[in-house]
Structure 1
């Protein structure tokens, strides 16, 4: 499917078409509720029945009564046969049975409702409840799929219930809650995963918020990402100033479901049709900090002051416009936390988690280059750009652009076998020699890092 994406062992897709199983019309319910079953594409599996606080929605028409002002979507999955499984068991399996959680007998509703907990095979977990279609009988075993436990993570219940059955007149109270992605998730050091809530629900015979129901689960899948070659270090090829910035190259990209991105300029309907997944990109280039054509008979030291790192004001603007937040603690990363998606992207964008920096650190570095007599010299800084891209190639917001810490590069023309220094003072003094090596130009590179802003002579 064109609107599906492979997240490791599972293909993930969005479903917006549903079959109504029950609403509480005719009952004594104080708040409306409706249960809808996803109409799944071929070979895909539903993970649970969807509950909404109404009888219909923008895409679930229902006679104009108790219609929720939203476009309801569910996540469905299928196994990806091209990806080697981490375990011998398949990623998906039917439940072996169902356990009754609640039914509406005595409610007076026009239709029958029963909610069931899928009983998973060993090594698997249920992802949410299953409702019966106007029936008190168990749903078919293939109504929902259970997921291998290592591909999931524990969920948290929504802050408020979707529905409570107080006053219904049924034998037991009931409350229905959405499975949300937890706001805090610590990934393994050498991988990046995304927690995806597939819009499934749990229910129990209490009005209290549940904490540990067995079907309180979300998907935990590897983030699909690409890694490309970083731009080569620039070379000075004459006595005239080179371009201010080298061509920008895409070095890393990661994909996330549209629910991860704050994109208020596009509707859910548009996202489903044009951008069910968004791409987070890292682009890299080199920015010219200083060029000097030394026409004298003596070496000249020239320099500039450059601010490296991510400025808090720009990081906050990026967060407001995209929903992604920047952190420098323990290494560079950007993350997103919503009810539907939780993830942190660092390795996927080419940044190491092991590099220790201070959160939102910026630093003024005094950088200088010693240019030999009758030579030209140039000094560059590595530049990064982070941007969130829709499926049609447009940007959600202005990119977050920053200069890297300790990642400077110098070159001179013509090549000179003599040692020439680039020095920086600021956060951590760095000295870089430009040395003529066999078969190479005279160049220097300082450090390796990840982090722009202003440079002033």
Structure 2
């Protein structure tokens, strides 16, 4: 357990991620289990996550951690830990999210080391999954309460990632290799992430026993506020744009899925465990005209470019968050403490209706045929996105979105159904790689 009084704890304890009746949090505290430094194998130090009971009561690790570096890893590594949450209301058939293993199977024994040590695979009960290997000093099995297995519907099948430790060149009778877990491509609106434990298998001359890999999963919480009310004309006076009053939708993204150029990942966890990607919708006045003549008349306005593609590219580069597709930690990014894959929901980025605004950022022409003695105004519904830290400060440049299907016409006096004309296609289009300001 951590005994270093100089290690900084989170400024405010992170609110646990809740997925069904599973609670997920993170710890930077560990206690040492064993080491291979005195053996002929590659150096390896094995630690067990040890969430402090006064900070994370009821939380358990999912497996142990390998560190190739020397020295204490407390305060330097971040690993997921889990806790039993409340059952969802109305779902009496749902079982507990967590279970201790039924037993352990020995995967490997370090016969060369002076300390000795072994690695064990937790044998999960039916309907549960073990997400990591457990280590021991000597040959004694770890206690069953050392880790927890997770109900199968709360995890996602994943891929075996990069090798992080092996003893293949040690000359030992038994060879063992440990691997990271690499989450798969996520569904829209979800994040899959490895808990920071490892998986592995013993290798001999006859065969290799392949292992299954699993990641934790969560939904990206989405708070939805009422959409802005479409504007109406109440007279012949010149209308104005409507100022936004509140964010229309707020996506909450955990710290490990955001690159913050102002903070190291460990400092993100300590100071901003969540980031808030706000989408604020508001009606912007494109143009208005009052036909004071005795006959209908055609009027034309230009809707300016909303998306500035080089600004969006800066946002993606600064945060790693992709708008239209998934984003990942990247297996080669050593600075990211959690392997993850994430994707925003289609409703949040308008892909469930129209996504033309992400690939076309040119101006558009809007026309209307206005009857005599009529005032007509056209508005465009635009979405403004900004990323905020927990303290409310901006974490990146902001950007906006709108597409051809988001024009709103209003007239005064109402009624009569003025023959309004849909917006005309732009004379040319530009891809998202356009860098003109």
Higher strand share: 1
> 2:173 corresponds to which residue?
171
In structure 2, the residue matched to 1:410 is 409
**Could you list the per-position Cα deviations for residues 159-216 of structure 1 after superposition, in whole angstroms to 9, with x for gaps in the alignment?**
3x2212134343212221111222x24x3xxx733212111101222499x99513x1
SS in 2 for 1:205: strand
Unaligned runs of 5+ in 2: 1-12, 331-338
Q: Which runs of 4+ in 1 moved over 6 A?
A: none
- Please list, as runs of the form range in 1=range in 2, the aligned pairs for 1:30-179 lying within 5 A after superposition: 30=42, 32-40=43-51, 41-56=56-71, 59=74, 71-84=76-89, 88-108=94-114, 111-132=115-136, 134-159=137-162, 161-179=163-181
SS in 1 for 2:270: helix
State the match for 1:273 in structure 2: 270
Contact 1:326–1:360 (CA under 8 A) maintained in structure 2: no
Contact in 2 for aligned 1:281/1:349 (Cα 8 Å): no
1:284–1:383 Cα contact (<8 Å) kept: yes
CA contact (8 A) 1:263 1:322 kept: yes
Secondary structure of the structure 1 residue equivalent to 2:139: coil
Distance 1:320 1:57, change over 3 A: farther
Contact 1:309 1:360 in 2 (8 A): no
- Give the Cα separation in 1 of the matches to 2:367 and 2:118: 74
- Distance of aligned partners of 1:320 and 1:287 in 2 relative to their CA distance in 1, 3 Å threshold: same
Deviations, residues 42-66 of structure 1 (Å, cap 9, x unaligned): 1112111111221336645xxxxxx
Contact 2:107 2:119 in 1 (8 A): yes
Query: How far, CA to CA, are the matches of 1:200 and 1:38 in structure 2?
Result: 9
TM-superposition CA deviations, 1:11-32 (whole Å, max 9, x none)? 22111111111223322334x3
2:36 to 24, 43, 47: 24
Normalising by structure 1, we get a TM-score of 0.79
Q: Which residues of 2 match residues 406-445 of structure 1 at below 5 A?
A: 406-417=405-416, 419-426=418-425
Contact 2:357 2:401 in 1 (8 A): no
Is the 1:307–1:403 contact (alpha carbons within 8 Å) kept by the matching residues of 2? no
Structure-2 residue corresponding to 1:247: 244
Render the CA deviation track for 1:111-169: whole Å, top value 9, x for unaligned. 3321110100011111111112x33211111111111111111222333x221213434
Partner of 2:232: 235
State the 1:304 CA deviation: 2.4
When the two chains are superposed, the root-mean-square deviation of aligned CA atoms in Å is 3.1
- Cα distance in 2 between the residues matched to 1:326 and 1:199: 26
Report if aligned partners of 2:27, 2:50 keep a CA contact under 8 Å in 1: yes
Distance between the aligned counterparts of 1:212 and 1:221, measured in 2? 27
**In 2 relative to 1, CA 290–56 (structure 1 residues): closer, same or farther, beyond 3 Å?**
farther
- Please say if residues 277 and 385 of structure 2, whose CA atoms lie closer than 8 Å, have aligned partners that are also in contact: yes
Alpha-carbon distance in structure 1 between the residues aligned to 2:29 and 2:353:
44
State how 1:360-399 maps to structure 2 within 5 Å: 360-362=359-361, 364-399=363-398
**How many correspondences in the alignment?**
402
SS at match of 1:54: coil
> Hey, what's the Cα distance between the residues in 1 that align with 2:266 and 2:122?
31
Distance 1:323 1:386, change over 3 A: same
With over 3 angstroms needed to count, the CA separation of the structure-2 counterparts of 1:353 and 1:24, relative to structure 1, is: same
Compared CA separation, residues 348 and 144, structure 1 to 2 (3 A):
farther
Structure 1 residues without counterparts, runs of 5 or longer: 61-70, 328-333, 429-450
Q: CA shift at 1:326, angstroms?
A: 2.7
**1:221/1:126 CA distance change after superposition, 3 Å:** same
Cα deviation digits, residues 404-437 of structure 1 (max 9, x gap): 3311111233435352414322179xxxxxxxxx
SS in 1 for 2:420: strand
- Give me the whole-angstrom Cα distance separating, in 2, the residues matched to 1:358 and 1:243: 24
